[in-house]
Amino acid sequence: MAEIGKGVTAGKLAINVQKRLTRAQEKVLQKLGKADETRDVVFEEMVANFNKQMGEGTKLQKDLKAYLAAVKTMHDASRRLQDCLADMYEPEWFGKEEMDALVEDTDTLWLDYHQNLTDKSVASMDTYLAQFPDVKARIAKRERKMVDFDSARHHFASLQKGKKKDEAKIAKAEEELGRAQKIFEELNVELQDELPALWDSRVGVYVNTFQGMAGHQEKFHREMGKLSQNLNDIMTKLEEQRQLKKGGTAAATTGDAAKSEETNHSESASSPPKSAVTNGSDGELPPGFIYKVKAIHDYAATDGDELELKVGDVVLVVAFDNPDEQDDGWLMGVKESHWLQNKDISAKAVFPENFTQKV
């Protein structure tokens, strides 16, 4: 006999086709109300719970994997940021070795966190859901065998009620009924024991999953907090190092300026220093002249007693008539061009010192 498919003969195929036809006919009769249907309300509730449990578990598995993907994304972003910092961190800066070690420790912590979530939470959920396809298939098989049982039961009953009783057919129908009933009841008993246990197991699975996640999260954030504090300490020390260098440079500059001033003073002891106020006996300088400055930024006057400045303007700084009126960071002066042209000291006004530099 020719084979229809691997392991399936024409005879088996015919039997399967006949079973499907018989089941279809039985369901039509049941829907039309012409044949009674075996019902088990308790079992139907178990199946509803099973479907609900499988749907919730599948959603939880999907969300766990999305969370794991987000952790992986955060790890990648953290690693790029830490690598960037490590690459920029110059060898002579404070804590270069500590910084490199911190970058490695941070990456390791992320790896451990991701791996723990994968091994404990996601893997356990995968194992939990792996049992559902088999149970679902057996529930579907029970449904088919129940239809077969109903069909065999109705066929046997119809033969018994017939006017012409064929004992051979009745015996065969009774045998088929017994076989269909046995197969159905075996499956039914198995599932009635298994489904409630599976339904109750969901609580333990959820507890283990979220307790494990909470433990991993707590450990991760605790260790990450320590690393973050270490990073903050390194940055604080680096800023202190910068301030010390800045102070040392300023002190060196002040020392050089003092030496230069001493040299100039010794060379011109017979003449007053540039910073001294003149009495205006020099006709080219205004009374009270101190020194010259040049504007390095434009300044727009906001009051009538302020001096308008343009970059490059030279200003002759003079003393305040009343020193108590001088505010910190402000000077009194008259533009050199105006003085040379008009010799008018009344044009003097105040201006911000940090907009100028000494000439």
Q: What is the pLDDT of residues 223-257, one digit of tens each?
A: 999 999 999 999 999 998 888 887 766 555 555 55
User: Using 50, 70 and 90 to split pLDDT, how confident is the model at 325?
Assistant: confident
User: Using 50, 70 and 90 to split pLDDT, how confident is the model at 12?
Assistant: low
The answer to whether 238 and 93 are in contact (CB under 8 A) is yes
User: Using 50, 70 and 90 to split pLDDT, how confident is the model at 101?
Assistant: very high
pLDDT digits (tens, 9 = 90+) for 177-224: 899 889 989 999 999 999 999 999 999 999 999 999 999 999 999 999
**Tokens standing for residue 63:** 């969300």
Amino acid 257: pLDDT: 57
Amino acid 231: pLDDT: 94
22-to-18, 25, 55, 288 alpha-carbon distances in Å: 6, 5, 32, 123
Residues 6+ positions from 141 with CB-CB distance below 8 Å? 187
Ramachandran quadrant class, 164 (left: phi over 0; alpha: psi -120 to 50; beta: rest): beta
Residue owning tokens 């010192």: 353
Closest CA to 113 of 149, 176, 68, 151: 68
Average pLDDT, the chain: 84
Compute the C-alpha angle 142/146/152, nearest 5°.
140
pLDDT digits (tens, 9 = 90+) for 282-303: 457 888 889 999 999 999 988 8
User: Could you tell me whether strands 8-9 and 349-352 are parallel, antiparallel, or unpaired per DSSP bridges?
Assistant: unpaired
User: Using 50, 70 and 90 to split pLDDT, how confident is the model at 270?
Assistant: very low
The string over 201-223, giving b where at least 16 C-beta atoms fall within 10 Å of a residue's C-beta and e elsewhere, is ebeebeeebeebbeebeeebeeb
User: Using 50, 70 and 90 to split pLDDT, how confident is the model at 80?
Assistant: very high
CA 283 – CA 290 distance, rounded (Å): 15
Amino acid making up residue 2: A
Q: Indicate the range of 16-25, 104-113, 241-250 predicted with least confidence.
A: 16-25
Question: Can you tell me whether residue 245 is helix, strand or coil?
Answer: helix
